[in-house]
């Protein structure tokens, strides 16, 4: 499979699978319960990963066809 497809799976794993293991309240990170911090962190990481996918996608490398 292409690398961009594997990169697209990472946010899913971070949100869904990672949330199953990080469903804890006791450690606070930046004043937030750990689970809340985990979701916020993956929101930002997903934006970055989608930006990398956009850059790596060969369709976006072509110039304007007009």
**pLDDT tens, N- to C-terminus, the chain (66 residues):** 588 888 889 999 988 888 888 877 788 889 888 888 999 999 999 999 999 988 888 777 776 655
Phi-psi region of 4 (alpha: psi -120 to 50; beta: other; left: phi over 0): alpha
Of the candidates 39, 52, 44, 38, the one whose C-alpha atom is nearest the C-alpha of residue 8 is 52
Other CB atoms within 10 A of residue 44 CB? 9
Strands (E), the chain: 28-29, 32-33
Helices 3-12 & 34-56 angle (0-180, nearest 10)? 160
């Amino acid at each position: 499979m292409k690398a961009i497809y594997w990169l697209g799976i990472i946010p899913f794993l971070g949100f869904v699978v990672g949330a199953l293991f990080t469903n804890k309240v006791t450690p606070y990170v930046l004043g937030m319960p750990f689970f809340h911090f985990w979701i916020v962190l993956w929101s930002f990481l997903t934006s970055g990963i989608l930006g990398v996918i956009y850059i790596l996608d060969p369709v976006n490398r072509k110039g304007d066809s007009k």
